Amino acid sequence: MSTFLAVPVAPSPHRRRVSFVSLGVLVAVLLAAGAAAAAFLWSPIAALSAPFTPSAASGSIATPVSIDDGSLPAIAKLDPALREAVRAAGAAAAAEGVELGITGGWRSREYQQWLLEDAIESYGDEGIARQFVATPDRSHHVSGDAVDIGSLDAQLWLIEHGAQWGLCQIYANERWHFELATDPGGACPALLADAEG
């Protein structure tokens, strides 16, 4: 029977140096990965995926405004001919005691998409939501070619008199939505059923 004698062996200084170097490399890699992750999270790409919040800059209007409030992008970015037609109609309406308060005008693509997604969530069905909110590619608000009018009195007044300035209700299910759709004094086209056309 043979006997083995355990003899303690001192670690090689070279082996210890390699271990420290390996540990240092590992720490450096982890720190670099953490820094890269942090940089990504704060990059403009990550900012694009942040939740959208409607603002005046994106065309949101909190309370009805005048067509003359050019400080708001929702008004300032409307098609100039539409803005002038609404201004003229508004003056005639005011003479009859009716105020044409604007509740919607130009909107950014992002705001329009947000409205669509909100409608889908509210209705629980994309098909129903799209009857009331167009996609950014189809919305005339995004192009600055549509306004929404606030009060029922103003909507009914504009439905009756708006064609004098070329302003027409477009959708049967949205009495508040108006666009330039005829020559001043002309006849408005037949109503589309909804925003899906």
Q: For residues 82-95, b (16+ Cβ closer than 10 Å) or e, as one string? A: bbebbebbbeebee
> pLDDT tens digit string along 27-41?
554 455 555 444 444
Name beta bridge partners: 180: 167
pTM score: 0.74
- The pLDDT tens digits for 8-34 are 555 555 555 545 555 455 555 445 555
Separation of alpha carbons 108 and 173, rounded Å: 23
Of 42-46, 70-74, 101-105, the poorest mean pLDDT is in: 42-46
Position 183 scores a pLDDT of 97
DSSP E strands, 31-166: 102-104, 147-149
Do residues 84 and 117 lie in contact, with contact meaning Cβ atoms separated by under 8 Å?
no
Give the model's pLDDT for residue 156. Answer: 98
Residue 138, pLDDT > 60, answer: yes
Strand partners, 122: none
For residue 17, the model assigns a pLDDT of 52
